[in-house]
Amino acid sequence: MLTHVTDKGVDMVDISKKERSIRTAVAKGGIRLKASTLDLIAADGIKKGNVMAAAQLAGIMAAKRTSELIPLCHQIPLESVNVDLEVRDGRIEATCTVKTTFGTGVEMEALQGVTEALLTIWDMTKAAEKDECGQYPHTRIEDIHVERKEKLQCR
């Protein structure tokens, strides 16, 4: 049975009768950058500003706006959003952890947060990453996925 498509068009899934529970989702992904770009980030040498702080802020903001960006996604009261960034193996790895007490999960919010954090890193490092023809032969956003999700019954 389809949950979003009806004979009249589309509907948002009715979760009004679902029991509230504590829900957590963790999404991860990475962006591969040139070693020289990673060195610039470490030295706070990117002209646009602090790449890591901007990416964290963008990820948090994106998670909070998920229902505005994905059709029929529920507006979820988020209780916590964290974006952690780590430089490892020629890339920056992003982890977005989202928590709520609600009737549906927060996987989409975690995925939205990690994706926007990585896109912000790309945007802020474009000048350093472009080759002489304006292309990005080394830059890659990779492996965006849900690492885990949890659903605990409220007590």
Catalytic residues, by residue number, are 123
Maximal C-alpha separation, the chain? 59
Say how far residue 1 (Cα) sits from the centre of its chain.
30
Distance CA 59, CA 63 (A): 6
Distance CA 98, CA 149 (A): 10
Going from the C-alpha of 13 to that of each of 2, 58, 104, the distances in angstroms are: 10, 28, 10
Distance CA 126, CA 144 (A): 20
